[in-house]
Structure 1
Amino acid sequence: MSDTSQLPTASAPRPDVPPLLSFSLALWLGAALAYNGAQAATARSCFVVAIVSAVLCLVALLIHWKAVRALPMLLVAGLLGGAGWALSCGGLLHGDEARTPTGGTIELRAIEDARDFGFGPVFAAEVLTGDGAGLHVRACLPEGAQTPLYGNRVVGDASWSNVGESGKDRAWSAGLSHDIKLSSCEIKQEQGVFSAISTVRTRAISMLNVQAEPGTESGSALLQALLCGYRGNLSDSALYDAFKTTGLAHLVAVSGAHLSIASMAFGIVLRKLRTGRGVLIGAQVLFLASFLVLTGCSPSSVRAAIMAGASLLSFFAGKRHASLAAVGLAVVAFILLDAKNAVSVSFTLSALSTAGIVMFAPLFSGWVDRVQFAPIRVACGPVVITLASSVLTGAYSAALFSQTSLVGPLANVLTAPFFPVLCVGGYVSCAAGLAFPFTAHACVGAACVAATWFNNLVQACAAIPHAAIPIYANPAVCLAVSGAFAAALWMAWPTRVSARTASALLAGAVVLCVVPWAVSARCSDEVVMLDVGQGDAFLVRSKGSAVLIDTGTNDAMLREALARHRVLSLDAVIISHGDDDHMGSLEDVANVVEIDNVLVANDAFSCACDSCERLLHAASLAARDGSVLGLSPGDEIEVGNFSLSVIWPDSFSDEGGNADSLCLLMTHNVSSTDATRSATMLFTGDAEAEQLEYMIDEEHIGNVDVLKVGHHGSRASLTDEVARELSPNIALISVGEGNRYGHPADECLAILDGVGAQVFRTDEQEDVSCTFENDGTVRVQVG
């Protein structure tokens, strides 16, 4: 019997792709490739190749002009033009890097909101005065200094330095030429019209903080991100992790997607209520204008507003060809204004999400319009927009966050109807509070309560077991795959797809996603030193069991590392001590990996220090059912063929600090064929030579095959005597490239070399896997 059930055909015709959009995409690709390549070139070579590219671009445009509809030549012209422009900008940045400004009093203008990472606010800024005028730099203020917002002027005494090796790639992508540190600073407001806008934004952020009711702090943080583009409170909270876990991070970003979803959903409701065209347009213009004012007219908000405007033109006027051309024109304009936009993550998400909405929202709307029940059609409007915006960005976002949300479709369906209401209601409440201060408490308080309820819904979705899984993928490859999928969807636009075929395609996609994770990456007994930058994270697994010892503090790097090794669940996470570089990512990893238990030193429960308090709080949130257990010397943890014995500390003497690190002696419990002893490994956390000497004297440890070098290879981590007693064949040092501590110390490396240890470091070899064989040998694989 043939299958006659079919999905509905789209009511809207397939849009044509205007030449301007094709040209803009080629220009974008050429600029992105050239800007990244320019980093490794010299200023002179950048300018020479830029001139050649410009000439060839003009030739290609001339050929295109003479040969009507010569699309290939238009694409070549776009690639060459983008490359030439980006190379010239790269050459200028090299010239900026070569400048050597002197110290002294300078004035800066913040070009982004500052973030405080515990050692003082850090932000990108433009230098306004002195011999460094015109440079874009990364500025660091003294610890405890007021945190500047976008547009604030900062005056202070500065010292200059070149960007360190570890931060060069990030600085190049942001167009920053130097690092500066201010020993003193004073924050001033901008002058003129911009000052008024900046003042409104500052007042709005403050009002959302002050007027929030007790218990609605998370709602206040969400509204600050949605309405003002300020993510300082949101990014530092577990709430942002919940948005990432549920695939809703795009909702709290200043992007075309965020604004388009909110404004278009708002417009859909107005249309369903049969609002007049004039009122509809006026409401949308007012909505975009309020967004620009409350976000301080930052470049990202202006970009988002322009992209959202193109989306609205398509959705409400039905002129998708013109809208796609407008998107293309916007892409060209933004890249010509600033070539580094070509490699900007926020620009990529904003532009591609807008293009997805313009092109595919009518297709999905056509399917929804065939639903007979009107309330469902209205409720599905925001879902349609979200789905369309994800066509070109979903895979890219997953690669950026190193995770993919399995509850994303459910979370979008549940939250999409409420999101535009929250945004529009938030703008109205904020505007009322600013215009009439006596209403601020009532208006903002109500908005914060509503935002808190919204957050509770997001967090409930994030709490579903295996809500997200870690993935490891190249963002560029994901973009290419998304582009191919979008092209296939566009080409198949008028085709009727049977329900059976659609089900088979869906099942095939699920199988392709799940099977690689269902099959274990390795069946061997192994310990993997994960590259998480300046921090520790060691994966121990055997016979289907897995334990993570420490998490580091770089969330993205840890998620990527777990994804590379296909880790979906952990029997336990063992935290050596409460320093951030050993437990900072504990809460984040729990969002993508199921954790049965968190294990800490037993004395941490009775220690009153701040680090132990933070550790226990994070552990209770990370562990399933809040199962946090204490470990004392003599305790053992079985991980397949491995036994981990606790040998330190007997009791805390350093308030849970380095000297109180949990130390574990691991034994591989497989009888070797030649009757030699089983291989052993010592995990030391940040314990150093003084603590190791005590363990040796008490005969807790002797010779080991593998040594996790304490405290990232600091000067005090080893002595000649300790190294001779341990006599490791393999030494593992987890350390960040170009770290400011000078780890590992030359003295430590010399000591290890003196005992014949083979040293492996994450800053040089990235992940390091140690496979424990049945004959007692340890095989090492890097990368």
Structure 2
Amino acid sequence: MRVSSREPLAPPRPHLPPVLLAGLAFWAAGVLVHPFLRNVGAEGCVALGASAMAAGVTVGAVCVRRRVVPLTAVAALGVAAALVACASAAWSLTAAASMAGGERLWECTLTTDARQSDFGATATVRAASDGRVIAVRLNLPAEAGDLMQGERLTVRAALRAPSAAAAESFWNSGLAGSLTVRDLPAPEERRGALLAGLRHHAIGLIERYGGEGAPLVQALVCGWRGPMEESGAYEQFKRVGLAHLVAVSGAHLSIVTLFVTSGLRLVRLGRRAIAVVTALFLVGYVGFTGMPVSALRAASMVATGLLALLTDRRSSALAALGLCLIAFGAADVSALLSPSFVLSAGSTLGIVVLAPLFTSWAARARPAVAAASAPLALTAASTLATQPYAAALFAQVPLLSPVANMVGAPLFTVACVTGFAAVLAACLVPAVAPLSLGAAGAAAAPLAWAVRGLAAVPGTCLPVDGDAAAMVLLSVVMVAGLWAWWPSPSGRSLAAAAGALATAALLAAAPWRAGADEIVMLDVGQGDAFLVRSQGAALLVDTGNRDALLKEACARQGVRFLDRVAVTHPDDDHCGSLEALGDVAAVEGLLVADDLLECPCEGCGDLRDRAESERYPAGVRGLKVGDAVTCGRFTLTVVWPASFADEGGNGDSLSFLCSYDGDGDGAAEWTALLCGDAEAEQLRAMAPSLPADGIDVLKVGHHGSKKSLDESLVARLAPRIALVSVGAGNRYGHPAPEVCDLLAEGGCAVLCTDEAGDVTVAFSMEKIEVSTEHAAPSS
């Protein structure tokens, strides 16, 4: 029997209820207005709230009188409600500023797990004092990194307003400021909620009996990613597009819950019983994560979406999603800007609207694929609705994501469901903990192996430098476009879509400006990353330590391949993102100072271990003074260090005299000095190796610290252009104003990444041209 190419037909297109439109209008208005209110003041907030409330009442009254509610009125009511909520939240944040000042006692309840940072541990808390409750960031000693959501402690500290550089971030997160605690309260003074205690116990049991798979089981079941992040395993999941599987997100809960409901259907439970058991499962599952607000939001949205698919009432689910958007946004306006909120809401919207359509497409495939069509369709719908935003969030598009999701979804489900059952059994019957949790670790192993294998493929990600709001808009356009088109399944149309996606990926992956002769100072925050490229060759000096910023810079500059990466010294702000670089660019080999290969210090040893794990095709090469590396028309000659005297520290920074020979006659037209964190003392020692008439471009050492230059050195080097890689509002005060003044007084143009962004210095036979990312080009 021949099957018509028109069958099976696409399922009915879901109706989009007015409540969903109101919810989306509320969300959009909140995202646009809340950041703006930071500079309005308390009186302005009151005026805005009153005006919005009056407008909403007026629109409602007109609709009641006419007995009709047009879609424009629905959207207007959503916007009015958002403005009232934003005004109220902004007024509260503005009023909280009055609590800043002297020390006082605060009763703090953690609303997130504590996370390790460069300067200790941090957590978000609800802090109560003198009858008022505000949300703040709590800075803790490093040993407090095991504190979990729900735990309570009493601290004495002064509320500190955020710095100018951090003010926008704090405001958008709904935080009034920060409390810093020098001494962690004694364990008996730390009061844990019941769920926090249960979670602590479960995590400890998994660590004890879970074997090598324990970190993954802790993340899947308990939402505890600390061990995975420390081992680098979480980066591997991000690299292949499976980060959503190890976060308590809408996509994570959707996949697990779908398999649970599928299992319940196999035992022929009725719809009502399935709904009850599924709800109980969600409550129990989220309970193991400590019930953070983000998980509760995700669970609520997932419940509306999946129960709609079970009952085939998608319009009701979309109405419920609209109510969720309004309810959660009204409770906490800052949640509307939260990545977890965006991902959960987007995932639920994509699943409810598109999963049945994608299932009908999969039904045309072979039986083996058709049998797995439900989870695959769910994953595809969720990914389509969230991937653009996730790409902006992680600064990369995981090219292996489709394959990884097809392979990983079933393995993840087995690991997750097994882990949940094992942890529950271990908590209820401690005697079975070794057996059950050992089985959970074994069940997680295939997923870990699959991710590790896929992540080992070089250049698996496409770097992205995209605005988050624009990416959300792109998702909305794609979902809305498919909803409007609603195509019936067709092999020809699917092949055309796959071809279009492949072509777009190839075009996006193509390098830009491959023939340019230039040195680019990449904006990677408080770190160094300098790109040298010419005639198709490319070399990167240092990587910084902000993975997302490095990947965004690679996207801006079209970097997909590097002949070499040179690490000047093993400080984190110069090589912390070495592994992350491999996600988005294939790296041929690594260059370091020759003494680093034998230096016994911890930093050098750690860098050697990391380099070995990357398995560079050309290996790791040690450079001595006088060695030269060619990059197109540039020749980088090592001028420092003669030997290590600082255990690989700032004073041992690998430094290059970069000479540009435009016509190939062996004489340099222009020169640049790239000196890592070397300061005045080292520059004086290397001065005899530099041109007698000075250099044209100077990478200022140690981010422009006070000791980086002095008057005599500025006169000796006589640079025309000075490049300073520095993070905005950094705590070190870099660059030092006196250093910038010395350079400016010497007739040098000083360019800093905190103000200019990426700075490109382009070389030709006739001239040097400078262009900046955030300012008009100058020469």
Within 5 A, what are the aligned runs for 1:283-362? 283-362=277-356
1:97 corresponds in structure 2 to 97
Instruction: Count matched residues.
Output: 771
Query: Distance between the aligned counterparts of 1:525 and 1:618, measured in 2?
Result: 31
1:747 matches 2:745: no
1:571 to 550, 563, 567: 563
Mapped contact 2:240–2:454 kept (Cα < 8 A): yes
Give the whole-Å Cα distance in 1 for the aligned partners of 2:763 and 2:137.
45
What does 1:152-551 align with in structure 2 at a 5 Å threshold? 152-186=151-185, 195-213=193-211, 216=212, 219-272=213-266, 274-275=268-269, 277=271, 280-371=274-365, 373=367, 375-493=368-486, 495-496=487-488, 498-518=490-510, 520-521=512-513, 523-551=515-543
Q: Is the CA contact (8 Å cut-off) linking 2:458 and 2:582 kept in structure 1? A: no
Q: Secondary structure at the match of 1:285?
A: helix
> Match for residue 653 of structure 1?
645
TM-score (norm 2): 0.94
Greater displacement, 347-356 / 80-89:
80-89
Residues 488-520 of structure 1 deviation map (CA, whole Å, 9 limit, x = unaligned): 211222x43643344333323332332243252
Structure 1 pair 782–484 and aligned structure 2 pair: CA distance change class (3 A) = closer
In structure 1, the partner of 2:107 is 107
Greater mean deviation of Cα atoms: 480-489 or 711-720:
480-489
- 1:779 equivalent to 2:770? Answer yes
Aligned to 1:762: 753
Q: Which moved more, 1:328-337 or 1:230-239?
A: 230-239
Q: Which amino acid aligns with 1:97?
A: A
Is residue 155–residue 185 contact of structure 1 (8 Å, CA) maintained in 2?
Answer: no
Where structure 1 has 5 or more consecutive residues not aligned to the other structure, the ranges are none
| Distance in 1 separating the partners of 2:539 and 2:688 | 29
Contact 2:271 2:310 in 1 (8 A): no
User: What is the Cα deviation at residue 623 of structure 1?
Assistant: 4.7
1:237-259 deviations in whole A, cap 9, x for unaligned? 32112111111111112222210
Deviation at 1:48, TM superposition (A): 1.0
Q: Kindly tell me: are residues 70 and 80 of structure 1, through their superposed partners in 2, closer, same or farther at Cα, counting changes over 3 Å? A: same
Classify 1:187/1:173 alpha carbon distance in 2 versus 1 (closer, same or farther; 3 Å): farther
Q: Distance in 1 between matches of 2:733 and 2:427?
A: 50
> Match for 2:22: what amino acid?
F
Judge conservation of contact 1:399–1:475 (CA < 8 Å) in 2. yes
**Deviation at residue 52 of structure 1 after TM alignment:** 1.0
* Distance in 2, Cα, partners of 1:146 & 1:21: 40
What's the offset of the Cα at 1:712?
A: 0.4
The answer to whether the 8 Å contact 1:155/1:187 transfers is no
Cα distance in 1 between the residues matched to 2:231 and 2:565: 21
C-alpha distance in 2 between matches for 1:190 and 1:284: 38
Task: Give the AA of the match of 1:79.
Answer: V
1:188 and 1:24 mapped to 2: Cα distance? 44
Q: Given the alignment, which residue of 696, 708, 713 partners 2:699?
A: 708
Alignment-mate amino acid for residue 721 of structure 1: S
Q: Secondary structure at the match of 1:665?
A: strand
With over 3 angstroms needed to count, the CA separation of the structure-2 counterparts of 1:200 and 1:702, relative to structure 1, is farther
Please tell me whether the aligned partners of residues 545 and 571 of structure 1 are also in contact (alpha carbons under 8 angstroms): yes
- The one-letter code sitting in structure 2 at the alignment partner of 1:38 is L
* Distance in 2 of aligned mates of 1:154 and 1:631: 53
| Aligned-pair CA distance for 1:299 | 0.8
Amino acid at match of 2:649: G
Tell me, in whole angstroms, the C-alpha distance in 2 between the residues paired with 1:7 and 1:565. Answer: 46
Q: What residue identity is the alignment partner of 2:251?
A: A
Secondary structure in 2 aligned to 1:417?
A: helix
Question: 1:624 is aligned with what amino acid?
Answer: Y
Residue in 2 aligned with 1:606? 598
Contact 2:517 2:533 in 1 (8 A): yes
341-350 vs 499-508, greater mean Cα deviation: 499-508
Secondary structure at the counterpart of residue 732 of structure 2: coil
- In the superposition, relative to structure 1, how do residues 44 and 697 fare at CA in structure 2: closer, same or farther (>3 Å)? same
Q: Matches of 1:626 and 1:492 in 2, distance apart?
A: 50
TM-score (norm 1): 0.94
CA–CA distance in 1 between the matches of 2:617 and 2:217?
A: 30
Q: Could you give the per-residue CA deviations for residues 422-444 of structure 1, whole angstroms, max 9, x where no partner exists?
A: 11111001111111222212221
SS of the residue corresponding to residue 584 of structure 2 reads: coil
Q: CA deviation at 1:372?
A: 6.0
In structure 1, how many angstroms separate the alpha carbons of the residues matched to 2:188 and 2:282?
Answer: 24
Q: Is the 8 A contact 1:647 1:700 kept in 2?
A: no
Distance 2:4 2:540 in 1: 49
C-alpha contact (below 8 Å) 1:696/1:702 kept by paired residues: no
How far apart in 2 are the matches of 1:780 and 1:146? 43
For the 8 Å contact 1:685–1:710, the answer to whether it is kept is yes
Aligned partners of 2:320, 2:328: CA distance in 1, in Å? Answer: 12
Distance 1:150 1:611 in 2: 33
For structure 1, which segment, 323-332 or 701-710, has the greater mean C-alpha deviation from structure 2 after superposition? 701-710
RMSD across aligned positions (CA): 2.4
CA deviation vs aligned residue, 1:363-387 (integer Å, no higher than 9, x gap): 22233345562x4333333211111
Give the match's secondary structure for 2:385. coil
Question: Structure 1 residue 687 and structure 2 residue 681: aligned?
Answer: no
Q: Does 1:663 align with 2:642?
A: no
1:78 CA drift (Å):
1.1
Task: Give me the whole-angstrom Cα distance separating, in 2, the residues matched to 1:97 and 1:657.
Answer: 42
Matches within 5 A, 1:545-560: 545-560=537-552
Q: CA deviation at 1:67?
A: 5.1
SS in 1 for 2:583: coil
Gaps of 5+ in 2: 775-779
TM-aligned CA deviation for residue 707 of structure 1: 0.4
C-alpha distance in structure 1 between counterparts of 2:548 and 2:186, whole Å:
32
Please state whether the residue corresponding to 1:166 is helix, strand or coil.
coil
Question: Aligned pair in 2 of structure 1 residues 283, 64: CA closer, same or farther (>3 Å)?
Answer: same
